[in-house]
Chain A
Amino acid sequence: MSRLDHIRNFCIVAHIDHGKSTLADRLIEKTGTLQKREMSDQVLDSMDIERERGITIKLTPTTMKYVYNNEEYTLNLIDTPGHVDFTYEVSRSLAACEGAILIVDATQGVEAQTLANTYLALDNKLEILPVINKIDLPSADVEKVRKEIEDIIGIPADHAPAISAKDGINIESVLDGIIKEFPSPKGDENAPLKALIFDSYYDNFKGAVCMVRIVDGKVKVGDNIKFFTTGKSYDVVEVGIFTPKCVPCDYLIAGDVGYISASIKNVSETKVGDTITLSNNQADAPLPGYKEVKPVVFSGIFSVDGSKYNELKEALEKLKLSDASLTFEQETSQALGFGFRCGFLGLLHMEIIQERLEREFNLDLITTAPTVNYIVHTTNGTSIYVSNPADLPQPQSIDYIEEPYVCAHIFTPPSFVGGLMDLCQQRRGEHIDLQYLDENRVQLIYNIPLNEIVFDFFDNLKSISKGYASLDYDLIGYRPSDLIKLDILLNGEICDALSLIVHKDKAYRQGRAIVEKLKEVIPRQLFEIPIQAAIGNKVIARETIKALRKDVLAKCYGGDITRKKKLLEKQKKGKKRMRQIGSVQIPSDAFMSILKID
């Protein structure tokens, strides 16, 4: 057998908590790649946020050695981010593999995300090895899940290993399956270099590092490499493999998975999906499938303490070094001052960035309600992208507006179908299909404006379905829509950071709900505060926060002073989290709270 015959490149696809990281840990442990003492739970989840939330955004790739029938095999496990925000990245990781382990939870069965990722894997012509996990749980039903995999996904599952990644049961059958079921990579060691970038990261010492799958050819230290999309060239400083730590080696060759570092300044030069070749022996064409990733969700990010603008800017610049999909540009809000309009791949991506800014850079942030990118066609024949409600042109100069739509797949037990269909209708959804996959599972397909998805759709979906329904969606393009700007006035003044772009038919209901919500979240102050929702000059809803008339007429004698002062210090701290807008003090989370109004 040749060298390539002893290599398997594979990934693991799974719904968010079906056990991807745990299985990865067990594989690493079983193959002796890391000693037990080096293992911490879920070793491949590299960010604190991932470990804390128990979700995996990105796994570190790992090269493992496994002996099967007295022959040593090299197994390369490649990451797939398990979330809809990162679908493109998933597709590139899949393109670097020949096989995919599909984990299905023996207690939960197939979920929308499982299906979406499986389809992606099938699109990339991957061999699929289903694995049924969590058989240690009392409610596990392996046979039912086997049938589900066959019925819903349409792949045979009679040979699917039934395992418990947590308890380490049947892990060998997964390793054996990888070798038996997955094809070995094909590739020509002597052809010009074609390396697929399936991910990249920023290292403080090495700069941007490319994670690559070598499709053809060979690359070594000292080679001058060239990136197809940017056309830029660099000298290779180091190549190596992941164990999952970086271990330098002499060269990477067709079939290998590893990393290339070449003193590249930031990750926007090392685009996921791009092809690396050699400057002096160029491949004639890049690998197929490259796509520029564009943000789809936008929001304004401001520092609670207005004077920390520069810190916020530096923090965003640093994050951008390692996250090419984050975009930001300066935004000036009348209410919130200087900040940034940031673009994200989706809502989870947005949350991750916010959390990293707060945690890693110790910033207190105000985040405005997320919006999408609209195309505004003006009466003078031009068209512009608008993601910030404040940038929407005057109504008289707008010809029409288009908004992005997604095709949403919802998986749910049948009992929640009615509620979920209502939700989709309310959210201007266009019914496409309803399929009873089996007696326990229904697939709903709707085309829905993305604007409605970012408006707290997911939380509603989860609450209607008691957490059982799952959602996955794809952007399908733009459609003209009757959209208007809804303004919110505090104490008679427009607060631009609270403006929204909404559908005309929903403006009244949303306006009412928002003023009611704001009345709840803004504490009473020393004077009365009217809160109004308005379209243009027309007020459509109004609430009033009554003036605070009485706080505490308590006693305060010698023995009370220390306690009283501590209380005051605490209140003072709370006040610091407030932002003064005009004469009104607003808690920093009020700006996001207007999303949660259903």
Chain B
Amino acid sequence: MSRDRRANTPAVARPGATGVVVRRAVRREPTIANRIVSVIDRSAIHFVLALVALIWLVPTVGLLITSFRPRSDIQATGWWDIAQLHLTSENYQQVLQAQGMFEAFLNTVFIAVPSTLLPLAICSLAAYAFSWMNFPFRDTIFLIIVGLLMVPVQVAFIPVLTLFRELVPQLELTRGYVAIWLAHTAFALPFGIFLLRNFFITLPGEMIEASRIDGASDVQIFRSVILPVTVPAIAAYGIFQFLWVWNDLLMALVFVQDSSKYPMTRAVLNLLSQYGTEWHLLAAGAFLVMVVPVIVFFSLQRYFVQGLLAGSIK
């Protein structure tokens, strides 16, 4: 769907642009004065867009450059002072080794991977049930889930933590990863089920009915009919969920209580409170948090944007 839209982009955009030319050609002679006006118009557009690109790139680029500058240079001059540009990877070595960012990176991976795969599995199963199975109160239950979309995670924090503490104290769930896996999975469900159900429901019913008549069970239909054609939607949701968990701070604050299991966001927060103005450490730390999402974003941008669009527009 989005591929079609993208393919149409130039075709849709061009009539507007040529429309202006056509109008001018019809109404007036293309005099030199008009041509100059149009060139100024075009330059104004390019200028504004260049300004936009600058505003959106410079803050990040500045911190990136800083993360490679020696501490003494950072204290002496601004990163924009090109004359003072000596690059070093020492800051990264320091945060990775001495400040435990390498361990925190692994912790983030340990938190993010199950917290992505679990919701993917549970949401696609539930979404299938809500779109292609018949059972009493199906639509009512689905509407309740739509309602749960708006429940802020804050209302769950205190009772869930209390339950973990009172009900299963010997397991000490919040000292390991289990608590945050379960919490991330559960809080992802309303959106995931909603998103995938809206996608599953657009599949042609004949396809599913035909398999049913052939005697296929729901499990078989789900595995060999639904899953193969819904990979793009599930991937889009998976990327969205992965980045969400990777970037999260709040849930890690509440559900990870063993400091040796802190993810990178918490490690950067600790760097900030310990070394508030040691920018060589903070810049390197912040970039380590960013590097995976930025790679994911540039390599899988289409899926990522699709996931976000589907979530907000539908």
Q: Do A and B bind each other?
A: no
Interface residues of A (CB under 8 A from B): none
Interface residues of B (CB under 8 A from A): none
